[in-house]
Amino acid sequence: EILSIDKQRHKKWTFFLLDIDNFKRCNTVYGLGGGDRALQALTSILKVTMNNEIESLIGRWGGEEFVIAIPGEMNNLEARIQATREGYQHAIQTIFTNSDDVFKGTFSMGRYDHDFSISDIPILDVVNRADDALCIAKTTGKNNMVIWNNQTPIRARKGRL
C-alpha cells in the first residue's frame, strides 16, 4: 500500500522508517510471543499517535521495522512522536515488568520529507532515503531520529557510514 500512494492527490509527503531498538534482545529474553506483544503494542500506539485525518499510512516494513507515510502537513508532529515514544515505553513496562533491565521499549527513526511536484522519484527511493537516515540514527546512539537531507550519505547502511 505504501508503494502505491497517490502522488497526484498529495504532492508533499513525510516518510518515516522506525526500528525498535534492541528487539532481538526482547525475543531472546521473552520469546517470540513476547516479541509479538511488543510489535502489537507499537502498532496500536502508532495508529493513535501518528494517524492523520488525511490518509496516513502505517505498515510493517519487515522484522521490527515500520514505515509511516503522511501526506501534507501533520499538526504537532514532534509532539506526536514524543507521545509515541512515551506510550510505547509505558506499554513495554506494563507488558514486561522487569523491562528496565532487559528491554527499554525505545525506537529509532529515519525521516524524509519529499515534494513530488519538485521531483517525481520512485516511492522506493523515497523510502530508501528514510532508511538511510534510520541507519544513521541506529549507529549514532539509538532512541533518536535523523532527518535525511542533502548531506546524508546516500545508501548508508548499518555499520558503514
Q: Are 71 and 5 in contact (CB under 8 A)?
A: yes
Closest listed residue to residue 145, CA positions, set 89, 85, 88, 98:
85
Helix axes 23-49, 77-95, angle to 10 degrees: 130
Which pLDDT belongs to residue 160?
34
How far apart (Å, rounded) are the C-alpha atoms in residues 94 and 146? 28
Assigned C-alpha cell, 11: 504532492
Which pLDDT belongs to residue 6?
64
Full pLDDT tens readout for the chain, 161 residues? 555 566 666 678 889 999 999 999 899 988 999 999 999 999 999 998 887 656 788 888 988 999 998 888 777 888 989 999 999 999 998 888 765 566 889 999 999 998 888 888 888 899 999 999 999 999 988 899 999 876 665 544 443 33
Which pLDDT belongs to residue 158?
40
How far apart (Å, rounded) are the C-alpha atoms in residues 113 and 115? 7
Residue given cell 555499520 in the structure block? 159
Which pLDDT belongs to residue 4?
58
* Region of residue 124 (left: phi > 0; alpha: psi -120 to 50; beta: else): alpha
